[in-house]
Amino acid sequence: MSEHFKIYFIKEEFFSITDWTQYKVPIKERRPALILVIEKEEFPNGLFCIPITKDDDKNGKMKALSMKRPDFIHPIKINRYDSYLLIQNMYIIHKEFIGQPYTLNDVPFEIKNTKLRGEIMKKVKKVDALLKQGIIHYVPREKVFEIQLKYLEDKRILERTNIINNHT
């Protein structure tokens, strides 16, 4: 089953791994984290995720920012809210930390419009190119993924150790 261009919540466990703000991974306190997922072949156990934020500060900060930096932020309508894809903050998340799909009327939300998908991917590719050239420095994607892999490895070792200790 493809997760491509669907919106998901992030599992709480992800936030307990480290202080993600030091890696510029956007974290909203007391608010579920929504991400748009994009599959890329180079990370089979990971998914590229674009954080989603609502423009709920009444003064249109995100709208203004999306007009000022249109390659980095993409407006998107989710339900009746103006939301924004924070493309510059895209990072890789391990599939184990993908939570429940975001649903509207019990139907998982998915961007099906091919024109909109193309606009988003064009911006993703531009941000990718700027990151590779060292022109911009946002989320260190590989480092964020490595931290998750190390956490999962340590977690499995601890689980095996606990199983062995419980049987002795």
Strand runs labelled E in the chain? 7-10, 34-38, 46-54, 73-78, 81-86, 91-94, 98-101, 103-104, 107-108
Residue 58 confidence (pLDDT): 55
**Identity (one letter) of the amino acid at 157?**
I
Q: Mean pLDDT in runs of 10 for the chain (168 residues)?
A: 81 91 77 80 87 73 85 86 88 94 91 93 93 87 93 93 76
Token match 């999306």: residue?
66
Residue 144 confidence (pLDDT): 93
Residue 1 confidence (pLDDT): 43
What's the pTM?
A: 0.85
Residue 168 confidence (pLDDT): 62
CA distance 162 to 9: 30
Residue 115 confidence (pLDDT): 95
Cα dihedral 91/103/53/24 (nearest 10): -20
Query: How buried is residue 29: exposed, middle or buried, by Cβ count under 10 Å (0-12/13-18/19+)?
Result: exposed
